[in-house]
Structure 1
């Protein structure tokens, strides 16, 4: 039997084609990519070529763009149901609380899986696995949701839940699905690529791992022991297509293609109409130009990014703060040089939280940054619990990335003055992922929200020409 697997991960609610940053040996360039109507056309073509096709979603699906956030994930449900997926897992999909995820799960025509998400009474919150049978071959799909949901995300994500990394549970479920007759075992995981490599180096019995969370564009599968691992970037800009030749109920050979979802792919007309109806209330935001940028704004950098520099400049200026912080989010499609619309600003931060200020001691800043660096660069993948490095403005840090936990920062300056442990610094920030709520004094949420702060800044500073110093330097 020949089996086809179509795979998406970390689409982050991007319903339509959008700018995407493409890398080659000589340059970076922007191309228009993605969009569920083109993704659906590709999946239909794969199904036409092979009736034995399974389609999976690695999660980070119900969050990331304004229509999806505003509807608490519900706007995208008809799109996903039309595609006809087989299963998914999640992370940002918990953003509206566990009850809303269960509500979304009930609306889907496929399950959200998770062997590692528990209610307080120890029972499983989600279905742990799914077994699909194709031509007398039974394929088990075991799900693992992100292990950081109850650790680094806002508290409402995991109210009443406990989440593990799934390593301890996985062998038990592999044994169970094989007892139920599974010939092949797939792992659908949102723990992240480094985390999945660690898991598969310790746990045997997985044939294919569909990885997510870390936005890796793997043009070739990775092999850990005998397990095939794929991951397909983000924002729906790429679709993974894994073809397996099954002989005597084992994988005899495989082929893989990371398919760019380019703008020369014919969109599916019915899906197009469905998406147009979802997007109709937001067309005015696309038409409302708020300013210009002279440079590409993107988030494709581990230490800092031009998109977050703009965000931090906006909130630092409006608060007259000494420093500014935001989370190192990975999601958010690039904004090319040229006009910037209000829609673009919502793509930067679709939650549109209030701008906040807090007073931090130098010691709190040092501890916060050291914790963040460990969560980004820990030698133990399971302790890598962030996105990118926390975004900072007004701060200059010199660090040695290879140093152990708590000892990476060598010297830190606020403005031109060396940071002192007992100093008090006014910080602007957005969300508790920017500055955890257990830190600082005199924490205040201002009446202005971030999208308006961005719009105000661009109206005064267009075209935007960044004049910021790098926050982190490796020495």
Structure 2
């Protein structure tokens, strides 16, 4: 029996075709990719050829663009139900709190799986696993939501829920599913490739790991002991297809491809109608040109990000500060050379958070950045928290990522001089992930929200070009 497993992850609310960053022999370039109308066409094409097909969503689905955030994720429901997924798991999908997460997922025609989310009374918050029968083969699927939801995300995301790394729970569900007849075990996880690899090294019995969160474009499966791990980029620009040849309840061979969802794939008209209906009220911001850029802007890098620099310049402009911090968000499509639209600004942070200011000592700044670098580059994958390294404007760091925790910063420079540990600096920041609550004093929200701040900056500086002196330097 041939079983097709289809997988997408980290779509982040990008329901229509959009800019995507690619890498060619001459460097980075932008091409159009993605969109659920094309995804639907490709999935149905495969299903027509092989009815023994399962389709999974790795999460980060109900958040990431203004239309989806405005609806608190619910605008996605008709689209996802038409896709007819078999299961999904979660991360940013908790952005509106546990109650709204349940409201959304209860409307889906498939389960949201997570064996590692617990209520205060110890009960599971979500269905942990599910059995599927295909061509006489029983497949068990176990969900693992992002372990970081209650650790580094805003407190409202998790509420009183507790998220574990799954190391204890996954083996229990493998045993349960096998007792119920499963001969193939799939792990559907939003912990990230480093974490999933660590789990696979410690847990026996997983055949396939569908990994999300870290936005890796894997063009072939990664073998970890007896398991095969795949991950499929982000924003719905790619779909992974793994074909398994199963005989006697065992996988005899496999074939895999990472499919780019480009304009060679015809859009499904019925799905396009659903997508267009959601986007209808957002044409004004899509057409409103607010500036221009002389180079590609993106945040597809672990350390320096030109897209976030534009965001920071806006925050500094309206607060009269020259240092700014924000989280190392992975989501958000690139902006190509040329026009910058108001919609592009919302894609940077679709919740359009207020711009805040705070006073930090040099010692606090260094401590905060060392903590972030230790989390980002921890040798223990289960201690890696969040996305990319914290985004910074106005400071320069010479770092050695191989150094021990707390000692990764060789030099921390402000205006070309070493930052003074006992001096106080007024800085701007974007969301509590930019500057956690335990740092600083005189924390205040300004009267400006982020999109307005960037628009004001671009009114004064309509042609944006990132600084050549990058924030982080690896030395």
The TM-score bracket by the shorter chain reads: over 0.9
**Structure 1 position 303 matched with structure 2 position 297:** no
Alignment of 1:242-257 (within 5 A): 242-257=242-257
Cα pair 1:291 1:459 within 8 Å, conserved: yes
3-state SS of paired residue (2:363): helix
Alignment of 1:31-430 (within 5 A): 31-430=31-430
Mind listing any 5+ residue stretches in structure 2 that lack a counterpart? Answer: none
Correspondence for 1:465: 465
**Structure 1 position 6 matched with structure 2 position 6:** yes
What is the Cα deviation at residue 105 of structure 1?
A: 1.1
What is the Cα deviation at residue 417 of structure 1?
A: 2.9
What is the Cα deviation at residue 382 of structure 1?
A: 0.6
Cα pair 1:322 1:425 within 8 Å, conserved: no
What is the Cα deviation at residue 46 of structure 1?
A: 0.6
Cα pair 1:322 1:415 within 8 Å, conserved: no
3-state SS of paired residue (1:297): coil
Deviations 1:248-307 (A, max 9, x none): 001000000100000121000000011110111111111111111111110111111110
> Aligned partners of 1:127, 1:84: CA distance in 2, in Å?
18
Deviations 1:15-57 (A, max 9, x none): 0000101113442211000000000000000101100000000
3-state SS of paired residue (2:396): strand
3-state SS of paired residue (2:215): coil
Mind listing any 5+ residue stretches in structure 1 that lack a counterpart? Answer: none
What is the Cα deviation at residue 175 of structure 1?
A: 0.4
Cα pair 1:194 1:381 within 8 Å, conserved: yes
3-state SS of paired residue (1:309): helix
3-state SS of paired residue (2:106): helix
> Aligned partners of 2:360, 2:425: CA distance in 1, in Å?
5
Cα pair 1:370 1:408 within 8 Å, conserved: yes
What is the Cα deviation at residue 134 of structure 1?
A: 1.2
What is the Cα deviation at residue 407 of structure 1?
A: 0.8
3-state SS of paired residue (1:373): helix
> Aligned partners of 1:89, 1:95: CA distance in 2, in Å?
14
Count of aligned pairs: 475
Cα pair 1:301 1:388 within 8 Å, conserved: yes
3-state SS of paired residue (2:328): coil
Deviations 1:181-236 (A, max 9, x none): 11111000000001111000010100100000000000001111111111000000
What is the Cα deviation at residue 473 of structure 1?
A: 1.1
> Aligned partners of 2:443, 2:33: CA distance in 1, in Å?
41
Cα pair 2:314 2:453 within 8 Å, conserved: yes
3-state SS of paired residue (2:442): strand
**TM-score, normalised by the number of residues in structure 1:** 0.99
Correspondence for 1:448: 448
RMSD across aligned positions (CA) = 0.9
Deviations 1:36-81 (A, max 9, x none): 0000000000101100000000000000001111111000110000
What is the Cα deviation at residue 459 of structure 1?
A: 1.7
> Aligned partners of 1:439, 1:26: CA distance in 2, in Å?
43
3-state SS of paired residue (1:280): helix
What is the Cα deviation at residue 416 of structure 1?
A: 2.8
> Aligned partners of 2:283, 2:395: CA distance in 1, in Å?
38
